[in-house]
Amino acid sequence: DADVTQTPRNRITKTGKRIMLECSQTKGHDRMYWYRQDPGLGLRLIYYSFDVKDINKGEISDGYSVSRQAQAKFSLSLESAIPNQTALYFCATSGTYPSPDTQYFGPGTRLTVL
């Protein structure tokens, strides 16, 4: 089984709808991250969490919120989706072994906002 899973894998929604993307990990890592990937823009950090009680904004947090329900679960919400939030979203984790700097990515969620 995959160590970092994301649900759903694909989602099509309409402008104004509330959307939640979920991430679960079995790696036992404390740190979790949400990124979005856009063609020509690379990966940009939305939010990150170093433990259950720690939430930090990344480069592009406007329009997004997160919840760290447990060490293994980190959810990303779009309160009122807009078309320019159409993108590929990745969850990632990192831990102390083999290095706190090695990030492990999930398979991604492709979100389309009409």
Partner 1 sequence: QQQVKQSPQSLIVQKGGIPIINCAYENTAFDYFPWYQQFPGKGPALLIAIRPDVSEKKEGRFTISFNKSAKQFSLHIMDSQPGDSATYFCAASKTGNQFYFGTGTSLTVIP
Angle ∠(25,27,98) on CA atoms, nearest 5: 140
Which is closer to partner 1, CB of 108 or CB of 111?
108
Scanning residues 1 to 60, which ones bind partner 1 (CB under 8 A)? Answer: 4, 33, 35, 40-45, 48, 56, 58
Q: Position of tokens 């389309």?
A: 112
Q: Does 101 bind partner 1 (CB under 8 A)?
A: yes
Q: How far apart are CA 77 and CA 67, in angstroms?
A: 8
Contact between 21 and 112 (Cβ < 8 Å): no
Which is closer to partner 1, CB of 19 or CB of 92?
92
Of the candidates 51, 97, 107, 114, which one interacts with partner 1 according to CB under 8 A? 107
Which is closer to partner 1, CB of 78 or CB of 92?
92
Q: Closest approach of Cβ 80 to partner 1, in Å?
A: 26
Q: Closest approach of Cβ 16 to partner 1, in Å?
A: 29
Under the rule (CB under 8 A), what is the footprint of partner 1?
4, 33, 35, 40-45, 48, 56, 58, 90, 92, 100-108
